Amino acid sequence: MSDISDRKDDHIQLALTSDHQSLPGGSFDRVSFEHRGLPELALSDIDISGDFLGKLTSAPFIIGAMTGGCDNGERINQHLAEAAEQCHIPMALGSQRAALEQGLAQKVRTWAPNATILGNLGATQLRQSGVELAKRAVDSVAANALVIHLNPLQELIQPDGDRDWNDVLEAIQNCANQLPVPIIVKEVGAGIGPITARQLVDAGVQWIELAGRGGTSWASIELARNSSSRARQIAAPFIDWGMDTTELLVSVRSACADVNLIGSGGVRNGVDMAKCIRLGAQMSALAQPFLAPALESSAAVIEKIEILQEQLRWTLFLTASKNLGALRSAAIVQ
Ligand X SMILES: Cc1cc2nc3c(=O)[nH]c(=O)nc-3n(C[C@H](O)[C@H](O)[C@H](O)COP(=O)(O)O)c2cc1C
287 is in an annotated binding site: yes
Site for ligand X in 67-106 (CB under 6 A): 94-95
Site for ligand X in 152-191 (CB under 6 A): 186, 188-189
Among residues 77, 116, 264, 309, which is the contact residue for ligand X, using CB under 6 A?
Answer: 264
Please name the residues in contact with 113: beta carbons below 8 A apart, sequence gap of 6 or more. 85
- Under rule CB under 6 A, residue 215 binds ligand X: yes
304 is in an annotated binding site: no
What is the number of the residue whose Cβ is closest to ligand X?
Answer: 215
- In angstroms, rounded to a whole number, what is the distance separating the alpha carbons of residues 28 and 68? 29
- Under rule CB under 6 A, residue 60 binds ligand X: no
Site for ligand X in 267-296 (CB under 6 A): 267, 286-288, 291
Among residues 65, 89, 181, 276, which is the contact residue for ligand X, using CB under 6 A?
Answer: 65
Cβ proximity to ligand X: between 286 and 327 the closer is 286
Q: How far is the CB of 206 from ligand X (least distance, A)?
A: 18
Site for ligand X in 101-140 (CB under 6 A): 120
- Under rule CB under 6 A, residue 66 binds ligand X: yes
Among residues 26, 265, 270, 293, which is the contact residue for ligand X, using CB under 6 A?
Answer: 265
Q: How far is the CB of 215 from ligand X (least distance, A)?
A: 2
* Feature table: binding site for Mg(2+): 155
* Residues of this chain that bind ligand X (CB under 6 A): 11-12, 15, 64-66, 94-95, 120, 147, 149, 186, 188-189, 211, 215-216, 264-267, 286-288, 291
* Feature table: binding site: 7-8, 65-67, 95-97, 120, 154-155, 186, 216, 266-268, 287-288
